[in-house]
Chains A and B, each alone.
Chain A
Amino acid sequence: MPGSDHGFRRWVVTNQGVGALLTVILGAFLIHLLLTEWVHRDLRDGFKLGFFPVTGVIVMMLCTIALMFDSRRRQITDDLRDIEWKSWLYCFAALIGWYFYFELSQLIGFLLVTPVFLFPLMYVLGVRPWTTAAASGAIVTVIVYGLFRMLGIAMTQGILPF
């Protein structure tokens, strides 16, 4: 493994680096799985309850080990080469943001929370001027609400009577 920090950063995004990381995670998970009681439980037909889950993890591990040693171990995917750490940050921020949006829409209601959430999101993504972002947020909310209501699909109601 390359010694310098730069070399390590480059190695960690290669198939070998990602494979090694995943192998460690999967190895720890496999040990955890084998230490749980239900995995070894015998079912009435004589089958082990954990046979398929453990098989899944073992096959995953074999694949990640293959990634570390096969002929393409030094390859880096285009996306992984281009990606910056900030992208992971955006990814987590987006997921956490949508989670909080959903919690709030359950508490307060879809119609109230959605435009308030979409406006800053659209603005951050580049919709200008802010009035367009706000109006777009409101229009998207009404369209989605109308579509799902028309089909009779339940939506988060919150404090609203509808």
Chain B
Amino acid sequence: MFNPDAFVEALTLVFTFKTMMWLAIGVTVGVGVGAMPGLTAATGVALMLPLTFVMDTPSALGLLIGVYKGAVYGGSISAISFATPGTPEAAATVYDGYKLMRAGKGRKALLMALYASVTADFLSDVITILVAPMLAIVALSFGPSERFWLMLLAVTLLGALSGNHLAKGMLSAALGLFIGTIGTDPVGAVSRNTFGLWWLQDGIHLIPLVIGVFAMGRMIEEVAKLMRESGTTRMVGAAVSGLLSKTTEGLSLREYMSTWKEMLIGLGIGSFVGMLPGLGSTVGAFLSYSVAKQVSPEKKIGTGVIEGVAAAEAGNNATVGPTLVPLLAFGIPGSSTAALIGGALMLQGVTPGPRMFELFPEVIYSLFIILLVGNVFNLGIGRFFAFIYARLGELPRPLLIPLIMLMAVIGSYGFQQNPYDVVIMLAFGLIGFGMRIFGIPEAPMVITFLITPMAEGSIRRALLINQGDWLGALFHSPLAIGLFVSVIVLTFFAIKLQIGERISEMGAVKAEEAKEGKEAKEADTTED
């Protein structure tokens, strides 16, 4: 399956000044986004998505993957500096990271976070490069019935594992299904579900939807918080200045090597979790942290040791590459950010899925090379600027919120100069805000929205092949029956065992511990 010509072409496409520049910009922006509490990797990628419309494919991938990698690592910076995780996936880093910070070893903790992130990210990218093509070969043998059930299985997984309440996860997925049908039907192109509005006949595009949900919705929430908290004094760590000093204790090679076991745990768990739709890097970080704590009780993880930072950071960054595996192998995004990267590929005229390996091998190779090279940029930018990024947590939110909102409005208009896209973006901003305050996860909605046309196309093709016989269309082969049984079994266990709730509870316990650490910090600050 390896195509040497396409690989050489990919090398020439990636190693250009332009692609490298966008990759560097992506990582720089990403680390900044991650370091600022309230902004997530998905917000950063959603805001950058409209910019990719005017770029070539490698530059677009460089920018988005750079933002993604940078943001997942960047979350650790404010987690360690202020006990305020910049992104949810960095919450597990707070406990040991902030204790190290309070012990005057903030620099050591930041470097450990960086090295563990980059090591696990790099190795998980290698796993991605090995696993995705193999799964794609399997996926190519799937017919429309199997594809339909596979998508349903992915949606069920997303609903069951995203968030902490099965009904809310499934509600989000069903909303995505409904929104995905607005416009025209994917087979006959007949107009439907447009509420009588002519401008909805083209359907809802991914860009205004994701910008609305991930950027505008979150900023509205921030506005509401800011208005509620007005008058309160922000306490940002004066201790951060200590990080800038070269005299502060750094990380030795021996110390880095001593955390190999935790990084390996993070790599294994993160890679596995990343490949499963619906779990994501937050779960990867918490699972890795908990397992490392149990495996090595003698290391006293949780008391402020670098092993705790290594386990959490390796666990979250190891999900970055593998989260693209379902997208590349089956055309089904495993996370919101993977959905956004899939959307960017579609904007470039490349449909993600197993056929991509045959039709656009140079894009696949470019993506793989960018995944690997992105780690070098992450290491360089993180190494030299992490201590400056720590200052970003102090950036006044009243300045940041209008900037992001403005980018959201202009970005959703700029991508096809359609004023109605701004209206759609604002509407999804409201929906996103409502979903967040009611605890409905956004990922199932966005991913189901993307795969609905494919699922409908698959089942209708299956019906055509089976001349309108539903039973034949749905249960065409033993594999289709197996996938159907998997959906039923998964739904049963999701209801019975409340898997998502258990995972979230585990995260909540750690978050509570992190909160206690932060409260201790605030008490210290008050005393000072």
Contact = CB atoms under 8 A, between A and B. Distances in A.
Given A79-B438, A125-B227, 15 more contacts: A47-B460, A50-B192, A53-B192, A57-B178, A60-B178, A90-B224, A95-B216, A98-B426, A102-B422, A125-B397, A125-B401, A127-B398, A144-B403, A151-B55, A154-B414
Contacts of B219: 94
A94 B178 contact: no
Nearest to A13: B438
B407 interface: yes
B398 A125 contact: yes
Interface residues of A, number: 63
B147 interface: no
Interface string B348-364: 00000000000000000
B297 interface: no
Max chain B Cβ within 10 angstroms of own Cβ: one of A52, A77, A126, A148 = A52
Interface of A: 15, 18-19, 38, 41, 43-47, 49-50, 52-53, 55-57, 59-60, 62-64, 66-67, 70, 72, 77, 79-80, 82-84, 86-87, 90-92, 94-95, 98-99, 101-102, 106, 110, 114, 118, 121-122, 125-127, 136-137, 140, 144, 148, 151-156
A55 B463 CA distance: 17
A67 B402 contact: no
* Interface residues of B, dominant DSSP: helix
Given A43-B187, A94-B223, A153-B51, A102 B409 contact: yes
Contact of A84 (B223, B228, B403, B460): B228
A44 B468 CA distance: 11
User: Which 6 residue pairs across A and B have the least CB separation, nearest first?
Assistant: A56-B178, A125-B398, A63-B171, A59-B174, A87-B224, A79-B437
Interface of B: 50-51, 53-55, 165-168, 170-171, 173-175, 177-182, 185, 187-188, 190-193, 216, 219-221, 223-224, 226-228, 230, 396-399, 401-403, 405-407, 409-410, 413-415, 417, 419, 422-423, 426, 429-430, 433, 436-439, 452, 456, 460, 463-464, 468
Given A45-B463, A53-B178, A70-B167, A153 B187 contact: no
B165 A72 contact: yes
A91 B414 contact: no
Contacts of A156: 413
A144 B413 CA distance: 13
